[in-house]
Amino acid sequence: MEVINQLDTAALHQEYLDTGYVVIRNLLREEVAEAAFESLKNAVPWEFHYRAFKSGGKVGIIDPKTFAGMSEKEVLKLVPKIATLKDNDCTFAYCRYTIPTVLQDASEDTQVLTEIYRYFNSPEYLTLMGEITGDNSGREVSAWASRYDRHHHLSIHMDESPGQGRIAAHVLGLSKNWKKEWEGNFAFCNSKGKPVHKVPPQFNTLIMFKVPRLHLVTQVKPYAGDSRYSLFGWYKVKQEYFKNS
């Protein structure tokens, strides 16, 4: 299966050098992007992940069966306040799915996500990542699926993880027909923690940026009419999930 469209890596590399990030529209082939969206919307067994203010980094996780049976009001009670840069903390609330690395471990309706994930770790794609970033030391692209519902957010942070050797964050938006007023924007922040460049949720659009860099996901408004979907992870030096591939 062909997964992505052809990329002008030379132009993307120059953009990455100039700004520290690139926004690549229509990364996936149309049929692949459509299948991934349908899988995320209708087939994925979502967990709910949240990290409360001053929790010492502890992440709360609600399993898919329990989460599916919770009311919006019950979930809202677990959504923490949004930490700021001054708080020296990171809070969040969103749904998450761990994408299997092996096709046989995925359900029939979610196998497309594993196929994308495996392609992200092919020699061909890792070479493209090296050409765009100018750093070919990356050996893996990690990936999870995320869903942001009403009230969900991810507060300001840097994405640093010295043990993984993260070179660049890698976030593929897969939201359809998103309205600007719903928020849920990806945003780069200045040194004071203020969002200075927002990228709204867009379908089949990859944001890749050099790590570390201050950024966040703004809170999805309570009147949003849909969920915000993405595949997120990092182009990194350490192999963790594809060691035997």
Query: What global pTM score does this model have?
Result: 0.96
On whether the 9-236 domain is CATH 3.30.460.10, my answer is: no
List the alpha helices (DSSP H) in 58-195: 64-68, 72-76, 111-120, 123-133
pLDDT in tens, 84-141: 999 999 999 999 999 999 999 999 999 999 999 999 999 999 999 999 999 999 999 9
What pLDDT was estimated at residue 41? Answer: 98
Kindly report the three-state secondary structure assignment for every residue of 217-235.
ECCECCCCCCCEEEEEEEE
